[in-house]
Amino acid sequence: MQSPRHRLLSRLFPAAALALALAALGGCGDDGAATESNPSPPANGELVTVEPGGDTICSRGTPYRFFAFGGDPKRLVLDFEGGGACWNELTCSIAGAIFSEEAPTQEQVEATVADPDLGGIYKLDDPANPLMGWSLVHIPYCTGDIHWGNATHQYTDDITINHRGSKNVSAVLDWVAARYPDPDTIFVTGCSAGAYGAVGYASWVAERWPNAQVRVLADSGAGIITDTFFADSFPNWNALPTIETYLPGLGDVPLADLSIEDLYIQTAKAYPNMRIGQYNTTFDRDQTFYYTAMGGGSDWSDRMHATVAAIAAEAPNFRYYLAPGQIHCITPYRFFYDRQTGPAGAPIEFSTWLDELINGSSPPPSVACDGDACLTDPICDACAASAAPTEGPVCRWCEGWPLE
């Protein structure tokens, strides 16, 4: 049986990386009635764990909770956790294997503090981090519906899933709005399934905080799906009302024709002052896995390139960063500060690109590896040279690299 720490790391998404912020931010607490009667944000350097109760719930009925790190109240990160998805009897029956069923506990978060592979945007005391000193609210994911659902669906007599991501996110946003009423800048992000949470709720954030500059990064969530995936999954999740709340045009598109590309384009057009970014590796192993699980073929990479190009052609406030290799996600990891790609002889560091996307006077150009450069990954090369070439939260993605 896996240890709690290993199970948490195997999820690979921001819940694990979030823990490293504990070292920088120090104290922790449990948000309760006193805070509700005096809704102020966590103090600088304080961590609170919030169990909102009410309608919130995880997939199989366990409690929902989220975490808030105190920092500058004018600069706020909303970080959506990833963790797979389930949409039919088969995928929802494999307990814990392809989707996260429970919200992490504070003990699980603390158990990952010492891992040297983690860090990324959660190193809130690092001057190299574009988000140094910001407040950060981490939004766990345990509903199998890419944060969008509002249904309880019975797949079999023995399998009932609470796809209540929308209820959970709504509770988080209510809590945040009471404590951060007028931030100057809000960075909405998430990796894997959290990437869809980020772009899906970007319009909600823009409406709730109309005076804030909203910046979005969808980390490793290109949305390459089969032609029938939304038609197969959305009715079970009751997800369409969530993403069309402030984008009613999405409801006019038949589910058989709806795509993530539509969501990006409609969001970008509805909020032209919003900056929306997307990060992917060229052969992302996890996104390819889920595409195959949906019934897709070997064309994930080609479709990903075509999709980001199509969004960019329609949305002048959209940018993308395409890196080499197959590692899934970047924001939770220490190599966040090392990754670079782009023109030969003049590579662009991802952390610099992200800083410009969030804080720059204008958004940066899109950046992508090209040709053979996409087949060379120094991160996986370092894993191959290590004592554990395919172990740990980063190197496990390097199994089978380089591609044959």
Res 45: pLDDT: 84
Res 156: pLDDT: 96
Tokens encoding 236: 């079970």
Res 37: pLDDT: 61
β-bridge pairing 66-69 and 47-50? antiparallel
Within 13 Å of residue 388, how many CA atoms lie on the same side as its CB?
A: 8
> Residue 297 carries which DSSP code?
-
CA-to-CA separations, 201 to 127, 164, 195, 241, 335, in angstroms, rounded: 29, 14, 10, 12, 27
Domain ranges of the chain: 4-379
CA-to-CA separations, 58 to 98, 150, 164, 195, in angstroms, rounded: 15, 12, 7, 19
CA-to-CA separations, 244 to 239, 250, 251, 253, in angstroms, rounded: 9, 6, 6, 11
The domain at 4-379 falls in which architecture?
Answer: 3-Layer(aba) Sandwich (3.40)
- How crowded is residue 107: how many other Cβ atoms within 10 Å of its Cβ? 10
Res 222: pLDDT: 96
- How crowded is residue 100: how many other Cβ atoms within 10 Å of its Cβ? 26
Q: What is the pLDDT along the chain (404 residues), one digit of tens a residue?
A: 333 333 333 333 333 334 333 333 333 444 443 345 668 999 998 888 999 999 999 999 999 999 998 999 999 999 999 999 999 999 999 877 789 999 988 777 655 544 678 778 988 888 999 999 999 999 999 999 999 999 999 999 999 999 999 999 999 999 999 999 999 999 999 999 999 999 999 999 999 999 999 999 999 999 999 988 899 899 999 999 999 999 999 999 998 899 999 999 999 999 999 999 999 999 999 999 999 989 999 999 999 999 999 999 999 999 999 999 999 999 999 999 999 999 888 899 999 999 999 999 999 999 999 999 999 999 999 999 999 999 999 999 999 999 87
Closest among 275, 289, 168, 268 to 220, alpha carbons compared: 289
What's the 3-state SS for 229-274?
A: HHHHHHHHHCCHHHHHCCCHHHHHCCCCCCCHHHHHHHHHHHCCCC
Closest among 215, 141, 201, 134 to 170, alpha carbons compared: 201
